[in-house]
Every structure is written in C-alpha cells, then in structure tokens.
Amino acid sequence: MQFSWGPLLRDVSRLDIKDADKSNVIAERIRQEIEEGQFDEATNSWSDLEALIISGSNKVDFYNFLLDSANDPISLTAVQQSEKLTMKAYPTYLSSKASSSVDISSLMNGVIRKKLKIIPKTVSWGNQSDEVFNSFSSDFMRPRIKEVDELLSLGINVTIYNGQVDLICATKGTEAWVQKLKWEGLKDFNSIDRTPLYCNSEEPGVTKGFLKSYKNLHFYWILEAGHFVPVDQPCLSLKMIADITQSPAVSSS
C-alpha cells in the first residue's frame, strides 16, 4: 500500500517529482523491514512516510485526497498533534458526521447494546483506539495476502471495497495486492468486465460504483467516496451490505 501513495499523489498534482521520489525511498525501506520481519520498525517508517506526505502535499487529507486536511477538522487535529491518523480519528470523525442529536458513544452504549444483547452491564463503549494501536503495532504492517488466499481456496466469500478518493487505503494499492494473490481464479477475475452500480432513489442513471465478482471474490469500487465509504455513499453501502449478507436492504428512498 505504501508504494501507491507517491505515484497516486503525483498523478493528482499533490506531490512533485522530488517528493514522490522521497516517498518511494521510504516505501522501499518499509518493504525491506517487512521482508526482514522488523514489523515495529516498519510501522515507525510508515509514520515517517505519512509525515513526508503531509509536508510535501501541503497537508493533503488522508481520508480524501481531493481535500486539504484543514477541510476535515479531525485530520487537522491529527496533523497538529503529530498523531498517527489511524490511532484516534475514527470515533471522533464519525461523531462529527453524525446528527447533532446522536453521538457515537450514545449509539454504541444505547441502541447497539440493546440490539446485541450480549454486552455485560459492567462494560461500556469508549475510545481505546490509542491503546489498541499500540498493542497491535507489530501486526500493523504484516502482509495478509496468504490468509486471503487461504480463504479463497476454502471457498469462503471474500469482499473487498475501496473508496475512490481514499488515500490511506488507496484503491491503487489495494488493486496491487490483489494481483499478488496466488488464487487459481485470479486470471479469470481479471478478464471479466465490471458491472456499474447505481442508486436510483438518489440520482437515477448516475454511476455510483463498479462491482467485479468471480466465484467467491467480490471487489467494489465506490465512486466519490473517501475512507469512510458508508458516510460518503450510504445508499451504495447499504446495497453492498445487502449483497454480502444475502439479505434485502431497507429502502433508503
């Protein structure tokens, strides 16, 4: 994934040749650290790469590369505090996008708790992302292509989706690791056409994404969406979840 950042941002004019080359140097360092099993070091190098991208792009938004981080108060706070973007941003970001009458803590400790019916009374939802990230820092940069290959070989459905303008998990990088699969169906998957996806209740006839499916591998390209696909494209997200769970979606019209 780290090799996609420099070329992608150069293609959309957020990095010049000099900084794109610098990012590729750090990406190569990350690749070597991963190959040598130095996963903590690779995570630290990933943070260095993130800092270079922020500087060279004049603070591009990692959740939507068409924006500056200043357009997203959560990304801006992360940059100002030199935080890893993945560590604390998600719960706060989602809260900022939610209705003013609903915050994510109330949602998780209220409706979700009642729906699941398994959460002990002594346990309440909270933001522990900082501690979780630190605990899993040695796993953060571990490749998981072999595990995906194993799932596919066992006939288990694997669904991949990517927001078009996401940077931190860029589609360009996701497509690259898919091509590293040793799954016997990959060649046929590559050869078939994508199916355009629509949400007629929103904008009839307007392409919202694409889907390619072969046997048990399914790939969704979600247009006009950043890292938080359900926030940016709720209708198409609902359709995708309905497909994954093989259950009808509730109409969003």
Assign 81 a pLDDT band (cuts: 50, 70, 90): very low
Between 107 and 16, residue with greater pLDDT: 16
Domains identified in the chain and CATH numbers: 1-142 (no CATH), 145-245 (3.40.50.12670)
For 187-221, letters b (16+ CB in 10 Å) and e give eebeeeeeeebbbeeeeeeeebbbbbbbebbbbbb
Q: How many Cβ atoms sit within 10 Å of the Cβ of residue 118?
A: 6
Between CA 40 and CA 142 the distance in angstroms is: 10
Between CA 70 and CA 91 the distance in angstroms is: 18
Assign 250 a pLDDT band (cuts: 50, 70, 90): low
Residue 224 is encoded by which pair of tokens?
Answer: 């006009």
Output the pTM of the full model: 0.82
Evaluated on CA atoms 195, 224, 7, 179, the torsion sign reads: negative
Residue 100's pLDDT is what? 47
Q: How many CA atoms lie within 13 A of 207 on its CB side?
A: 11
Assign 237 a pLDDT band (cuts: 50, 70, 90): very high
Site of tokens 């939802």: 125
233 has pLDDT over 50? yes
Assign 202 a pLDDT band (cuts: 50, 70, 90): low
**DSSP one-letter code for 197:** E
For 39-69, letters b (16+ CB in 10 Å) and e give bebbbbbbbebbebbbebbebbbbbbbebbb
Residue 94's pLDDT is what? 53
Assign 75 a pLDDT band (cuts: 50, 70, 90): low
Query: Can you state the angle between helices 2-11 and 39-56, rounded to 10 degrees?
Result: 10
Specify whether the CB–CB gap between 22 and 56 falls below 8 A.
yes
Q: How many CA atoms lie within 13 A of 155 on its CB side?
A: 0
Residue 154's pLDDT is what? 97
